[in-house]
Amino acid sequence: MTSAARQLRFASVTDVIQRLDPSYPVFCIFPDILKTRARSFVEGFPGTVLYATKCNPHPYVLKALSDAGIHHFDTASISEIAKVTELLPEAHCYFNHPVKGRGALEAAADVYGITDYVVDHPDELDKVISIAGTDITIEVRIATPKGKVVYDLSAKFGAAPEGAVTLLKEASRRGCRTAIAFHVGSQCLDPDAFRVAMEMAMRVAEEAGVKLEYLDVGGGFPAIYKSNVPPLQTYFDTIAAARERLGIEVPLFAEPGRALVAEACSVLTQVHLRKGDDLYINDGIYGCLSEIRDGDLDPPVRALTKDGKVEGELRPFRIFGPTCDSLDVLKLPFYLPENIREGDWVEFGLMGAYSIGMQTGFNGFITDTIVRIDGMHEDFAF
């Protein structure tokens, strides 16, 4: 597959199959869906939207989000900062990883002029200030209670309230601007978790007695997989109501990732062998399907041929990835037509988040054909 072919634009996933006849996996990006989702956040969230770059850093994604009005980016590494600023020179990046190497800090401050840094420990505060100076905003990240989420992110990062108070006071004493950040957890299914966290943040701010530049409510906004997910507007309304009740006058930031990009991408795979009710395909848990290996997230699937959909009654299949590792299996049963066979394609929907950015290339298998598809998806209803 040549680089020129990888950059072709297509009218639909069916068009991809008919024109490429791919025996390799294809990552499909729908910029129009990205723009629609971005506008829903820009217009609905009561504050500034930062895209969580780690969720999907592909240039098609970054450009589409920028075109739709997102110009602030949550970045966790120099690589992400470079990727965003080189593609979007006017973008504002925030170095929101709580643990940063000294070399990364030097590049962030001296090369890219980053002025916003997250910390959750006194030693990290010292490190940041020693390199970036004090004409910066220090975001103190607080840990939040484990709630109804797929991934708990406060188990690794976040200061306890008393520690956060100390950090805010010290950052302010040393001449830095201050802010508070938190993350309720990835794929949060309870909007009220944001209210609880905002109340914690305001108690910390009151005890610290420092001026806040902003309150960053983080990510966690969910995508609509097959689980019962509250409407996105419910999250926005909950956050807006908490802001009003708590009398929060500083700007609010948010760091959506999954909810912005999940439904805007799919992974087109091909069946290379069928053994009874087992299907062997050309992508798996070491590739773009890593998040669905344990069944926490259940994406929609459909089976296709060059002439259209595969016919037949639906039945459960077990799906194996392409590597030699026996762990390379999707533990969920996927319901596909009983007539599916070698050479047919299986498309996984809702694959925009933590997919192409997490693949490993293990065993030499990697999804490196990435296509742009104009318009909305012709089949999946999200």
Residue 265 bears catalytic tag: no
Please compute Rg for the chain using Cα positions.
22
Q: Which two tokens stand for residue 379?
A: 């089949």
Among 28, 265, 288, 324, the one annotated catalytic? 324
How far is residue 126 from each of residues 102, 106, 170, measured CA to CA in Å?
A: 11, 14, 10
Which residues are CB-contacts of 5 (< 8 A; sequence separation ≥ 6)? 20, 369
Q: How many CB atoms are closer than 10 A to CB 173?
A: 9
Residue carrying structure tokens 């309230």 = 161
Q: Are 161 and 141 in contact (CB under 8 A)?
A: no
Give CA–CA dist 138/98, Å, rounded: 11
Cβ burial of 46 (10 Å; 0-12, 13-18, 19+) is middle
Cβ burial of 241 (10 Å; 0-12, 13-18, 19+) is middle
Strands 9-10 and 369-373: parallel
Name the residues annotated as catalytic: 324
